[in-house]
């Protein structure tokens, strides 16, 4: 099955909202990580979301090129082809594009989708994230409105954020922000709904103390009831149909009880990156440590080509990532709920 069409992606989000579950959205940086994600979704019989950050795109373009948009296009095109071999629906998304990267990252990707549509194909990505949390909300929404207009014309959903996710990811560090910046208010949620709902479909990354990275239990103070209160403010004013599709950022390391609580408040997508990075790297480290004399040419020896062949440890890394992502499908209750073949 090719990557989900815009209509299928909307059906995925509708099914998650109605069914009380969410999709893991995993950041990828290579064909190996894409294959790990596709394997996990297929084995879990779960639909899912594969996403590319600016840093992931830059890495994928190669160290001598370093072009984030070009690398994202390469990864997306590869995912379109690889996904054809699987019987689940997968959507492509881009993560955390700040205002400074709109022209260099988001605009070229929208143009790539425009060109694909002109050729009779679907858009390259099914959704994009504009992270305007670094500017005042009024400015954030002004930019979001213009981008959503452009996305809507292409059948693409825009994800926006109000309030900041703490910590550091892909070079964006918000660890020094005041604590109140980590919590979206009900008034913010109403403002977002009123600004964007007349234009097109959007995803909303409301923040409730979530933090990028991995921390010891108790270090991150989540307040999932913020999502409940914000949704209530919107639906009290505009009716039950106004309930928004919410996104949980910084999902790695979160307690299962807190993950499940957010599902009841309208979360349909949870980003997972830190935990899957570790799950990918750990088998590589184990392989190196257990086979050090074969991986390295020690004391004039020749090593063992079978052990230092990158495929020998990247296969293990792919499986490690897939296993952790399958756990995320279980946590988010998406396992066994693919709508492949029904839409």
Q: Which residues are catalytic?
A: 95
Q: Which of 133, 136, 164, 132 is nearest to 148 (CA)?
A: 132
Where are the alpha helices (H) located in the chain, listed in sequence order?
Answer: 6-19, 31-44, 54-60, 68-82, 107-118, 137-153, 186-196, 225-238, 256-263, 274-290, 292-295, 305-308, 310-331
Q: Which of 196, 190, 209 is nearest to 248 (CA)?
A: 209
Q: Which of 30, 27, 174 is nearest to 98 (CA)?
A: 174
- CB 342, CB 50: distance < 8 Å: no
Q: How many residues does the chain have?
A: 343
Question: Taken in order 188, 244, 272, 60, is the CA torsion positive or negative?
Answer: negative
- CB 331, CB 248: distance < 8 Å: no
Q: Which of 94, 5, 82 is nearest to 51 (CA)?
A: 94
Task: Give CA–CA dist 77/104, Å, rounded.
Answer: 19
């Amino acid at each position: 099955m090719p990557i989900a069409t815009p209509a299928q992606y909307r059906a995925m989000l509708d099914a998650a909202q109605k069914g009380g579950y969410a999709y893991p959205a995993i950041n990828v940086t290579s064909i190996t990580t894409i294959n790990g994600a596709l394997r996990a979704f297929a084995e879990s019989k779960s639909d899912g979301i594969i996403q590319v950050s600016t840093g992931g795109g830059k890495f994928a373009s190669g160290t001598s090129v370093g072009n984030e948009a070009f690398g994202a296009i390469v990864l997306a095109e590869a995912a379109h082809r690889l996904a054809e071999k699987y019987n689940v629906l997968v959507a492509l998304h881009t993560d955390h594009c700040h205002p400074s990267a709109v022209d260099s990252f988001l605009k070229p990707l929208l143009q790539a989708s425009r060109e694909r549509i002109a050729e009779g194909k679907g858009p390259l990505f099914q959704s994009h994230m504009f992270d305007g949390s670094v500017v005042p909300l009024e400015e954030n929404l002004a930019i979001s409105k213009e981008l959503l207009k452009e996305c809507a014309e292409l059948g693409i959903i825009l994800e926006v954020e109000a309030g900041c996710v703490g910590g550091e990811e892909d070079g964006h560090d918000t660890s020094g922000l005041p604590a109140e910046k980590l919590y979206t208010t009900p008034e913010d949620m109403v403002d977002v709904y009123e600004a964007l709902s007349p234009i097109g479909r959007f995803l909303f990354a409301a923040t409730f103390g979530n933090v990028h990275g991995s921390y010891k239990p108790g270090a991150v103070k989540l307040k999932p009831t913020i999502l409940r209160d914000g949704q209530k403010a919107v639906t009290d004013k505009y009716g039950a149909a106004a309930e928004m599709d919410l996104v949980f950022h910084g999902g790695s390391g979160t307690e299962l009880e807190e993950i499940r609580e957010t599902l009841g408040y309208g979360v349909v997508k949870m980003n997972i990156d830190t935990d899957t990075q570790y799950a990918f790297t750990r088998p590589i480290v184990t392989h190196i440590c257990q086979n050090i004399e074969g991986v390295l040419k020690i004391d004039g020896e020749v090593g063992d080509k079978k052990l230092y062949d990158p495929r020998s440890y990247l296969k293990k890394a792919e499986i490690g990532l897939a296993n952790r992502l399958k756990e995320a499908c279980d946590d988010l209750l998406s396992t066994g709920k693919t709508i492949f073949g029904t839409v």
